[in-house]
Amino acid sequence: MTVRPLRSDAERTVRTILEAAERVLNRNPSASMEEIAAAAGVARTTVHRRFATREALVTTMKTWASRQLASAVDEARFDTAPPLVALYQATTNALEVKLSWGFSMNSALAASNESDEIMAGVVASCDRLFGRLQQAGVLRADVDLIWARRVYYALLHEVAQSGDPDEIGTDTLATQVVDTLLHGVGTPAARL
């Protein structure tokens, strides 16, 4: 079965619904489809025509957000930019997506094989970058790169949950994440 691409007006409607759903569900995870439709400025029937169930909407949101994150990572040019530049750019780009699509990026949402595949690609790209960071001497040779990636993801998650980009700025938040990853929060005298 082939899936026909949406017309441009239908594609805009879907994006409007997804963006409205992100705003509404981020504020109130139990919001109704009717509330989402109102926020999108469309009829409830339009939302139901595009998304048969709430789960279908949430799954589409998760996949959409995953695509946005994958695109943000690709824009950092992990394989060609100097590794530290790529890390900083990826951090800034990822935070922009995570701050804009916080509800959708929540891993507890509806299962989505497509989203899982997209995120597996993001992880593989990140692992390659961390390998390049280690080869360039930015990360110590004895650092477990999987552990380093997990710490990095945890930092991104925490900033996305509590950071206010309007107050601080995404660039500043990204700098704090990269600095914390590379230098920690202890003093040089506190090293083991």
Q: Domain segments of the chain: what residues? A: 1-52, 62-190
Find the angle CA(186)-CA(176)-CA(61) to the nearest 5 degrees.
Answer: 130
**The pTM is what?**
0.82
Q: pLDDT by residue (tens digit) across 71-119?
A: 999 999 988 999 999 999 999 999 999 888 888 887 566 667 888 899 9
What CATH number does the domain located at 62-190 have?
1.10.357.10
Chain centre distance of CA 25 = 16
How big, in percent rounded to 5, are the helix, strand and coil portions of the chain?
70, 0, 30
Residue range 1-52 forms a domain whose CATH class is mainly alpha
